Amino acid sequence: MKPLEEMTKTELSTAIAELRDLLEEVKEEREMILGQENLHLSSNLVTKYADEITEIETKIAKAEKLLGN
């Protein structure tokens, strides 16, 4: 994906939709993995998911700002 600042409004709208889909997928994966009770999970995995979700949310917010939403 090219930098958000270089995208047209149409590309930004598409990028936002794709990022929202990705965010939903990551959240679902996180719930599935972290919801397993019989599995020992490292704190690094928890942090990885939190960082990834934050990064995607930041990109969505930036794209929306550039789009004027």
pLDDT in tens, 13-67: 999 999 999 999 999 999 988 888 777 778 888 899 999 999 999 999 999 999 9
Residue in the block written with tokens 């889909």: 21
0.85 surpassed by pTM: yes
Q: Where are the domains of the chain?
A: 4-67
Which pLDDT does position 22 carry in this prediction? 98
**Within the chain, what is the greatest distance between any pair of CA atoms?**
47
Q: In whole angstroms, how far apart are CA 39 and each of 8, 55, 57?
A: 45, 26, 28
Average pLDDT over residues 3-16: 96
How far apart, in whole angstroms, are the C-alpha atoms of residue 17 and residue 4?
13
pLDDT of 40 reads 77
Residue with the bigger pLDDT between 38 and 7: it is 7
Instruction: Output the pLDDT for position 39.
Output: 73
